[in-house]
Amino acid sequence: MRPLILLDVDGPLSPWAAPRNAKPAGYVEQSLRLSRWSRQRLRIWLNPAHGPALLALAGSANAELAWATSWEHRANRQIGPAIGLPPLPVVEFAGPQPVWKFGPVARFAAGRPLAWFDDDFDLFPDARRNFVERRADLPTELIPVDAHTGLTGEHFEHLEAWLRKIDAPGPGGEG
């Protein structure tokens, strides 16, 4: 089954907690309009190298990229183009979220190996534990990202190693 790589925006792709005078290397300031009806703009940092790197990793592992962010479909309009990503599937979080993103993500990723970049996995430790244990035979990798730094080369290396591991042949010679 084709692995799924989920992307959060705030934290992993936009290091919102970094000091304003300490932009992480490779990040470029973007000014995004919050809605078509407002003149208000949001200034965030994004790294244009992240899109091609994510596409290359997903392509080499025959994995699918998708958004798992409160930006939902706006990520395809405002974040993806800024970092070189095509439109991606979106996990929708409509309605009350008693266990944060875990329920909608579990439904979206049902039956698929999953790697997920996010900065908030520790918000609901019991829900996280239940999510990771969703199926013993289903590889699940939660990759925490520090919102001060955003994604780094170490995160990409971690994902690449995990993708290789789940693609490795099992004891019966099947991958």
Could you report how far apart the first and last alpha carbons of the chain are, in Å?
A: 10
Query: How would DSSP label each residue in 138-173?
Result: S-EEEEE--TTT-S-HHHHHHHHHHHHHHHS--TTS
Instruction: Output 63 or 40, whichever has higher pLDDT.
Output: 63
Model confidence pLDDT, tens digit, residues 94-148? 766 556 788 889 889 988 999 999 998 888 787 777 777 766 678 999 999 999 9
User: Is residue 42 within 8 Å of 72, Cβ to Cβ?
Assistant: no
Query: How would DSSP label each residue in 13-24?
Result: TB-TTS-TT-PP
pLDDT of 122 reads 84
Q: Which tokens in the block code for residue 144?
A: 């925490």
pLDDT of 172 reads 41
pLDDT of 22 reads 86
Residue type, 143: I
pLDDT of 135 reads 65
Q: Would you kindly state where each structural domain of the chain is located, as residue ranges?
A: 4-167
Burial of 93 (0-12, 13-18, 19+ CB in 10 A): middle
Q: Which CATH number fits domain 4-167: 1.10.287, 1.10.8, 3.40.50, 1.10.10?
A: 3.40.50
Mean pLDDT across 85-91: 97
pLDDT of 168 reads 62
Instruction: Output 71 or 174, whichever has higher pLDDT.
Output: 71
Task: Decide if pLDDT at 171 tops 60.
Answer: no
CA torsion angle 120 54 84 10 (round to 10): 10
pLDDT of 175 reads 43
Average pLDDT, the chain: 87
Please give the model's pTM, rounded to 2 decimal places.
0.88
Q: Which tokens in the block code for residue 117?
A: 């970049």
User: Is residue 31 within 8 Å of 42, Cβ to Cβ?
Assistant: yes
Q: What Cα–Cα distance (Å) separates residue 72 from each residue in 4, 5, 27, 64, 75?
A: 16, 15, 22, 16, 6
**Facing residues of 4 across strands?**
64, 114
Task: Decide if pLDDT at 38 tops 70.
Answer: no
Task: Decide if pLDDT at 154 tops 70.
Answer: yes
